[in-house]
Amino acid sequence: MSHAALSKEFNADPARVDWHNKTLWWIRQKRDRAAQALPEWEQLREAASQIKLNVLSNLANYLEQLEQRASHHGIKVHWASDAEVHNRIVHTILKDAGIDRIVKSKSMLTEECHLNEYLERNGIDVVDTDLGERIVQLAKEPPSHIVLPCIHKKKEEIGALFHEHLGTPENNADPQFLTEAARQHLREKFLTRKAAITGVNFAVAETGELVVCTNEGNADMGAHLADVHIACMGIEKIIPERKHLAVFLRLLARSATGQPITTYSSHFKKPRQGQQLHLILVDNGRTRQLAQPDFRNSLKCIRCGACFNTCPVYRRSGGHSYHTAIAGPIGSILAPNLDRKAYADLPFASTLCGSCTHVCPVKIDIHQQLYQWRQVLMKEGFGTQAKTAQMKLMAAILSQPKRMARAGRWLRWWMSTMPVLFRHRLNPWYRHREMPEAPATSFKEWYANNRKL
């Protein structure tokens, strides 16, 4: 289903849309306060953008450097061209270690690769340990936001899920109580599961270390208690030097939630004694994006979610309407690269207001790329037939002044003579708006008449 059709489903409950919209706007406001508290905020964004541009211009060398340093410290480095290879590597590591029950902390890359489904098909039980991710996992839904996975859920729904799966009392929807129940439920998993998968926020080429940021501490609980730690990262997550972490750690949490930093920013350099630490470097379309100058910039993304929270479309359509692992404005410029046909609707799920670009901590020109994708997708024939026909008709009329004047007169006459022709559900414009009164004349006619005076 398209973004428009899925949004319509989300919009069936106006009170929920209103709540969703306001909740996300509140997070955007927290982000603003955090950003405004730093006088050097704009310079930090510029520095972050420059560092990421440097990374993209020197990516192969940095990856080789990372591999060399990480291997030297005992990290086993794997390379995966696509999601399939990535999933197979994870499964092989687990199989070799004889492990069939694992814990996983948040990783948008593994969502993108549909790792959970793959592992489950192969008989491996995966428990997501980020509270929001555990909630959507119990609900058998994908996350609807990259930072706030269950932002679309009301606490009563979460209470009902926990009652069903964790045995909490019926009708208890107190966040404090539910969080405590999840803590106890997941603590047992942390203590008994022998392998942990985590994402990677930043990998440092200079030192070979991996940085993982969480507020809950779930990545650390998983990684430090398990015998096998598998860290999965997209190749663009690399940064050149350790000092560059200062720039990104200052920007990430402030942009994401308005916090000055996440509770835990963990730097993994060597496996702990007796532990295996695996790093999987995944391409999955990133090199294709890198080869396209118009879209390469999107690889600067640090997955903070600021563009989601500010987007007037995301706030009112919900993450699931984007039908892809990474929703929102950034997802809409990443997804068409993975599958043009499946995600041709997403660059159109935007007003092109540019708010995403203004809040992006690494200065990705998101709204420009949304516009560029529209050009590419229509040219390559991924538009709907109706849209193509409409555009052709419009072009035929608007390109000829005489035709345009005639069409205008015709429309004004029908609108004022038989307004009922335009006031029905088949007219998408009328569904959410009043039709305007047709003016008596066009501007051109008015101008001609009034200039004579």
Considering the complex, what minimum distance in angstroms separates the CB of residue 73 from another protein? 7
HSE on the CB side for 430, CA within 13 Å?
A: 12
Considering the complex, what minimum distance in angstroms separates the CB of residue 375 from another protein? 21
One-letter amino acid at 313 equals V
The closest alpha carbon to 284, from 145, 80, 34, 444, belongs to 80
Using rule CB under 8 A, residue 13 touches another protein: no
Site for another protein in 228-267 (CB under 8 A): 235, 240, 242-247, 249-250, 257, 259-267
Residues 6+ positions from 314 with CB-CB distance below 8 Å: 24, 308, 322, 327, 328, 329
State which of residues 8, 72, 95, 154 lies at the interface with another protein (CB under 8 A).
Answer: 154
Using rule CB under 8 A, residue 268 touches another protein: yes
What the block records as the tokens of 242 is 């350790």
One-letter amino acid at 147 equals V
Measured between alpha carbons, how far is residue 426 from residues 264, 326, 421, 432 in Å?
53, 32, 10, 12
State which of residues 158, 304, 325, 360 lies at the interface with another protein (CB under 8 A).
Answer: 158
Please tell me the distance from the alpha carbon of residue 414 to that of residue 438, in angstroms, as a whole number. 9
Site for another protein in 161-190 (CB under 8 A): 175-176, 178-180, 182-183, 186-187, 190
Site for another protein in 298-337 (CB under 8 A): none
Closest CB to another protein among residues 284, 350: 284
Site for another protein in 273-302 (CB under 8 A): 273-274, 281, 283, 287-288, 290-291, 296
Site for another protein in 96-135 (CB under 8 A): 129-132, 135
One-letter amino acid at 424 equals H
Site for another protein in 43-72 (CB under 8 A): 43-44, 46-47, 50-51, 53-54, 56-60, 63-64
Considering the complex, what minimum distance in angstroms separates the CB of residue 126 from another protein? 17
Are 131 and 176 in contact, with CB atoms under 8 Å apart? no
Closest CB to another protein among residues 182, 344: 182
What string of DSSP letters covers 166-190?
H-PPTT---HHHHHHHHHHHHHHHH
Selected range binding another protein among 214-222, 379-387, 389-397, 427-435, rule: CB under 8 A: 214-222
Please tell me the distance from the alpha carbon of residue 249 to that of residue 238, in angstroms, as a whole number. 14
Site string for another protein, 18-47 (x = CB under 8 A): -----x--xx----------xxx--xx-xx
Closest CB to another protein among residues 176, 399: 176
Are 199 and 233 in contact, with CB atoms under 8 Å apart? yes
Considering the complex, what minimum distance in angstroms separates the CB of residue 142 from another protein? 15
Considering the complex, what minimum distance in angstroms separates the CB of residue 204 from another protein? 9
State which of residues 32, 100, 141, 206 lies at the interface with another protein (CB under 8 A).
Answer: 206
Residues 6+ positions from 341 with CB-CB distance below 8 Å: 382
Site string for another protein, 186-205 (x = CB under 8 A): xx--xx--------------
Work out the angle between the directed axes of helices 244-256 and 14-36 (0-180°, nearest 10): 140
Considering the complex, what minimum distance in angstroms separates the CB of residue 319 from another protein? 14
Measured between alpha carbons, how far is residue 219 from residues 229, 252, 327 in Å?
10, 17, 23
Number of residues that bind another protein (CB under 8 A): 95
